[in-house]
Amino acid sequence: MTSIPDAKAPADEVVLEAIGLTKHFPVRRRLRDLFSNRHDAVHAVDDVNLTLRRGQVVALVGESGSGKSTVARLLAQLYPRTGGDIRLHGESTKVKAGTAFRRYCARVQMIFQDPFASLNPVHTIRYHLTRSLKVHGNAGSTDAELEQALHALLEKVALTPPERYLDKFPHELSGGQRQRVAIARALGAEPEALLADEPVSMLDVSIRLGILNLLRDLKERLNLAILYITHDIASARYFADQTMVMYAGRMVEGGDSETVTQSPAHPYTRLLIESAPDPDRLTGVADAASPKDNGEPPSLIRPPSGCRFHPRCPSAMPRCSTDLPVPLQIGDAPGHWAACWLYDTEEVAK
Ligand SMILES: Nc1ncnc2c1ncn2[C@@H]1O[C@H](COP(=O)(O)OP(=O)(O)OP(=O)(O)O)[C@@H](O)[C@H]1O
Ligand SMILES: [Mg+2]
């Protein structure tokens, strides 16, 4: 089996970029709407910029319905986009099906939340991995080479000895082992980027760390670019180099994970951090089940004007309900930004 083709590509090399990425899902029209000009749409993702680099993990954090999975599916080209661009190594890409889609998938692979649903229960691990190797032309030319490639895949995800797992069915494995198989299947394509949509949220807390450590190890060994989608901003600090925070379809803050999680600037990021379970606060009153505010995420069919967070924001100013905030540099930390008028220098000077 050949090694990962660009594993020696320089770390930090940009693999995948979203530029102004936008996705509006049309809402099905009711009979009475047919006679009007109304075309409602769910504004799931609006003007999202994101860069995935080799050897780095970018965490995408936000509450349910904020558009995280839609961003991942757009990047995987599973949905057509409404606007913006997706660039693979700087080249604009738009693929729908067929060979172009397969070629794209060989470079950009997705890992889903539920490993049980993503593996076919009637097929063995050997079948799943062989299929991935064959589809992407990495199965070698002889049975011995295929067997070697299968073993190498399972070894990469620490399912050893491989012969113990190859002929098992998904239901014979634990949740963590199934997720390792799903990761091995993605690696069968020898991808450059992995899009992991809440890869540990359905797993027992005790095995989450093992999977995150595996992904981190793969990032380093295979020089992968990883998008890590999560609700859990604490795990973003532990696992990701960069953290991006999304609210109601828009990016609101980004920067290196340590800065974003330790010195959050956007009021929404602060709220997320305050509502996250904190081991040091376990005896206290605050936990994830009692967030600091009672607000609800807004409707994405008619999202709030200006800053989408303004109806829930404790620091909202009059202009927040009318003007869309632009990303503003925060402090001296390089690359730390927030889309919040609180950091507009004119506002600060007032
Ligand atoms: N195929 C679709 N058709 C119509 N609306 C959709 C579709 N997929 C997602 N949406 C809507 O887009 C918005 C964003 O959904 P998305 O699944 O991306 O959020 P998320 O951040 O991944 O949430 P969660 O944390 O619950 O997984 C939601 O309002 C959702 O209802
Ligand atoms: Mg999701």
In short, whether 55's Cβ falls inside 6 Å of ligand 1 is no
In short, whether 79's Cβ falls inside 6 Å of ligand 1 is no
Which are the contacts of 39, defined by CB distance < 8 A and separation ≥ 6?
Answer: 26, 29
- Residue 315 banded pLDDT, cuts 50, 70, 90: very high
Q: What is the pLDDT of residues 204-225, one digit of tens each?
A: 888 999 999 999 999 999 999 9
Per-residue model confidence (pLDDT) at position 200: 92
Per-residue model confidence (pLDDT) at position 210: 93
> What CATH fold (topology level) applies to the domain 1-25+44-240?
Rossmann fold (3.40.50)
Question: In this structure, what are the phi and psi dihedrals at residue 60, rounded to the nearest 5 degrees?
Answer: -115, 115
Of the chain, the percentage scoring pLDDT greater than 90 comes to 75
User: What's the mean pLDDT when you consider all of the chain?
Assistant: 89
Residue that wins the pLDDT comparison between 154 and 99 = 154
Per-residue model confidence (pLDDT) at position 290: 37
Q: Which residues make beta-bridge pairs with 171?
A: none
Q: Are 272 and 61 in contact (CB under 8 A)?
A: yes
Report whether pLDDT(251) > 90: yes
Question: In this structure, what are the phi and psi dihedrals at residue 197, rounded to the nearest 5 degrees?
Answer: -90, 100
Q: Which residues make beta-bridge pairs with 227?
A: 58, 195
Alpha carbon of 172 to ligand 2 centroid (Å): 27
For residues 10-20, average pLDDT:
91
Per-residue model confidence (pLDDT) at position 95: 87
Report whether pLDDT(178) > 90: yes
Which mutation among 68, 195, 230, 250 tests ligand 1's pocket best, with the greatest number of atoms within 8 A of CB?
68
Q: Give the ligand with the smallest distance to the CA of 44.
A: 1
For residues 63-78, average pLDDT:
95
Per-residue model confidence (pLDDT) at position 1: 40
Residues within 5 Å of ion ligand 2 by Cβ? 69
In short, whether 66's Cβ falls inside 6 Å of ligand 1 is yes
Report whether pLDDT(5) > 50: no
- Residue 4 banded pLDDT, cuts 50, 70, 90: very low
Report whether pLDDT(283) > 90: no
Atom of ligand 1 nearest to the CA of 71: 18
Q: Are 218 and 224 in contact (CB under 8 A)?
A: yes
For residues 226-255, average pLDDT:
95
In short, whether 84's Cβ falls inside 6 Å of ligand 1 is no
Report whether pLDDT(289) > 60: no
In short, whether 44's Cβ falls inside 6 Å of ligand 1 is yes
Q: What is the pLDDT of residues 157-168, one digit of tens each?
A: 999 999 999 999
What span, in angstroms and rounded, lies between the C-alpha atoms of 229 and 22? 18
Q: List the single range of 167-171, 298-302, 334-338 with lowest mean pLDDT.
A: 298-302
Per-residue model confidence (pLDDT) at position 347: 59
For residues 11-38, average pLDDT:
83
What span, in angstroms and rounded, lies between the C-alpha atoms of 94 and 87? 9
Residue nearest to atom 4 of ligand 1 (CA): 25
For residues 316-339, average pLDDT:
94
Q: What is the pLDDT of residues 122-153, one digit of tens each?
A: 999 999 999 999 999 999 999 999 999 999 99
Domain boundaries, the chain: 1-25+44-240, 264-350
In short, whether 61's Cβ falls inside 6 Å of ligand 1 is no
Q: Give the ligand with the smallest distance to the CA of 25.
A: 1
Per-residue model confidence (pLDDT) at position 31: 67
Residue that wins the pLDDT comparison between 4 and 299 = 299
Residue that wins the pLDDT comparison between 82 and 293 = 82
Residue type, 271: L
Per-residue model confidence (pLDDT) at position 291: 42
The residue assigned the tokens 């098992």 is 168
In short, whether 36's Cβ falls inside 6 Å of ligand 1 is no
Residue nearest to atom 2 of ligand 1 (CA): 25
Alpha carbon of 25 to ligand 1 centroid (Å): 9
Alpha carbon of 70 to ligand 1 centroid (Å): 6
Residue nearest to atom 6 of ligand 1 (CA): 25
